[in-house]
Amino acid sequence: MELTFLGAAGEVTGSCTRVRHEGGCFLVDCGLFQGGRSAPLRNMRALDFALRDIDFVLLTHAHLDHSGLLPRLVALGYKGPIYATRATVDLLGVMLLDAAHIQEKEAEWANRHDRARHARRGWDVAPLYTVEQARLSLSRLRAIDYDEGLEPHKGVRCRFRDAGHILGSSFIEVDVAMGGATRRIVFSGDLGQPLRPVLRDPEVTERADILCIESTYGNRAHRQMAQTLDELTVALHQTLVHDGGNVIIPAFAVGRTQELLFVLADLVRSGRIDRLQVVVDSPMASAATALTVKHEDLWDAETRELYRWAQHNSDRFSVRFVQDVEESIALNGCRGGLVILSASGMCEAGRIKHHLRYNLDRRECSIVMVGFQAAGTLGRRLVDGARYVTLFGERIPVRARIHTIGGLSAHADQPALLAWLGHLHQPPRKTFVVHGEMAAATTFAAAIQSALGWPEPVIPEPGKVYALH
């Protein structure tokens, strides 16, 4: 058997692992590369291998760094099934179409505003994939229940387990026949932090012959939730009450936005903040919130209780979901009093860039960063203290306060990851540390050795073939 890590090796985007075995070949995840000038070219080249060899695809969850190349995969000729949990299939019906729409609009903008370069190259910029191609990819999806046995191909059996990261997220146990024996590969996907709002805690696995474990926050521990809530409360009071500005929160449309709505509502319910006016300016986040309500069976008990409270206290906790562009543009004229949640979470695309354009240069406003910011992204530059950023070709001074509140991460931190690994009855034959920037992956690999006594984990090289026995 051979594993090839086509992305998320020494970085956190582009998750895609190819598995060759005696009976065939399959992919686990098929994600976009995000951040940095090289990302568009990397996405164009990412699937440059024999797609006819791929029998099926397993998808851990709906975030675009794990799913965002599926439309291109299908457009390039893949005709097999793509297996995911029911909630993930629902989310992809929104997310992939939205991603395709952004691809089309960005290509249109580039062709319209860069005519000189267009004249030199003699051709138009093409989108990575179109809305129609994204729609076609949805027809390849096959919905699977948690803990349901699946045999997608001869010699392969799979089970999707609840990863507690976002709605529908899973880690996948894959049993592969090898020379009369069976080897179990566990793909962690992205694991959630225990005791976080909305979703149930991650399930655990007890056996893995081969393990691919994420390491997004493998080199740190998150702030305690109490400290996180204190920091968020201070930022809200300072900006909304004292300074009269807006609070802008770049938030992933799926997972982070819904968790933030819970946290903000709980601050009001507990009396820490008198009242809040919240605007969710992201059609995808609005749709994802509706799907989250649809899948209430995946919530924890505390979230169900708070949801009932919010339904009966809309005078204190007001939430408005913005759909059309005109309504979104009108928010630019609101000078204070609003909490605006908008995608994307790393500030790379979508409506958040417009809200930053109109609020970054205002000292009375705050930008609250609540999620991981990959290297090369606009969000990372803000977190790292940039004094100026460029938005829509305009140089914008950064005068607003930048708050980084790490305790709301949907990713497990190092202690939680080690605790999850501790449920394995014996060390895997081989452990691959993936989905982490090199510093995080290196630190986490060392922590696995020191804390658990496992054989030295491998931080895979992108594109390298790893033979397993």
Q: What is the pLDDT of residues 383-392, one digit of tens each?
A: 999 999 999 9
For residue 269, pLDDT over 80 is answered with yes
Query: pLDDT of 400-436, one tens digit each?
Result: 999 998 788 889 999 999 999 999 999 999 999 999 9
The confidence score (pLDDT) of residue 87 equals 96
The answer to whether the CB of 385 falls within 8 A of the CB of 399 is no
Q: Do 2-220+410-467 and 225-408 share a fold?
A: no
The answer to whether the CB of 410 falls within 8 A of the CB of 193 is yes
How far apart CA 19 and CA 156 sit, in angstroms, is: 11
pLDDT band at 119 (very low <50, low <70, confident <90, very high): low
Nearest to 259 by CA among 307, 191, 209, 196: 196
The confidence score (pLDDT) of residue 117 equals 59
DSSP alpha helix (H) spans, 390-436: 414-421
pLDDT band at 112 (very low <50, low <70, confident <90, very high): confident
How far apart CA 12 and CA 16 sit, in angstroms, is: 11
* Superfamily name with CATH number, domain 2-220+410-467: Ribonuclease Z/Hydroxyacylglutathione hydrolase-like (3.60.15.10)
The answer to whether the CB of 398 falls within 8 A of the CB of 387 is yes
Q: How high does pLDDT run on average in the chain?
A: 93
Give the percent of the chain with pLDDT over 70. Answer: 98
What would the mean pLDDT of 215-226 be, rounded to a whole number?
92
Residue 207: CB partners within 8 Å, gap ≥ 6? 184, 424, 425, 426
For residue 255, pLDDT over 90 is answered with no
b/e string for 16-53 if b means 16 or more Cβ within 10 A? bbbbbbeebbbbbbbbbbbbbeebbebbeebbeeebee
The confidence score (pLDDT) of residue 102 equals 84
How far apart CA 258 and CA 251 sit, in angstroms, is: 9
Query: Six-digit token pair at 200?
Result: 């149930």
The third-level CATH classification (topology) of the domain covering 225-408 is Rossmann fold (3.40.50)
What would the mean pLDDT of 104-126 be, rounded to a whole number?
72
The confidence score (pLDDT) of residue 426 equals 96
Give the percent of the chain with pLDDT over 90. Answer: 81
For residue 122, pLDDT over 70 is answered with no
Say what the alpha-carbon torsion angle 462, 464, 465, 468 is, to the nearest 10 degrees: -80
How far apart CA 67 and CA 60 sit, in angstroms, is: 9
Predicted TM-score (pTM) of the model is 0.88
For residue 238, pLDDT over 60 is answered with yes
What would the mean pLDDT of 323-352 be, rounded to a whole number?
92
The answer to whether the CB of 23 falls within 8 A of the CB of 156 is yes
Query: pLDDT of 151-175, one tens digit each?
Result: 999 999 999 999 999 999 999 999 9
The answer to whether the CB of 214 falls within 8 A of the CB of 206 is no
Element (H, E) at 18: strand 16-21
Domain ranges of the chain: 2-220+410-467, 225-408
CA distances from 102 to 128, 143, 263 (A): 10, 26, 29
The answer to whether the CB of 162 falls within 8 A of the CB of 146 is yes
Nearest to 268 by CA among 199, 221, 219, 314: 314
For residue 120, pLDDT over 70 is answered with no
Bridge partner residues of 178 (DSSP): 181
Lowest-pLDDT choice from 116-120, 235-239, 284-288: 116-120
How far apart CA 181 and CA 184 sit, in angstroms, is: 10
Q: What is the DSSP letter of 82?
A: E
Task: Look up tokens 């599926």; give the residue.
Answer: 70
Strands 394-397 and 465-467, bridge-based pairing: unpaired
The confidence score (pLDDT) of residue 254 equals 86
The confidence score (pLDDT) of residue 71 equals 98
What would the mean pLDDT of 267-278 be, rounded to a whole number?
96
Higher-pLDDT residue of 261, 106: 261
DSSP alpha helix (H) spans, 167-255: 225-236
The answer to whether the CB of 423 falls within 8 A of the CB of 205 is yes
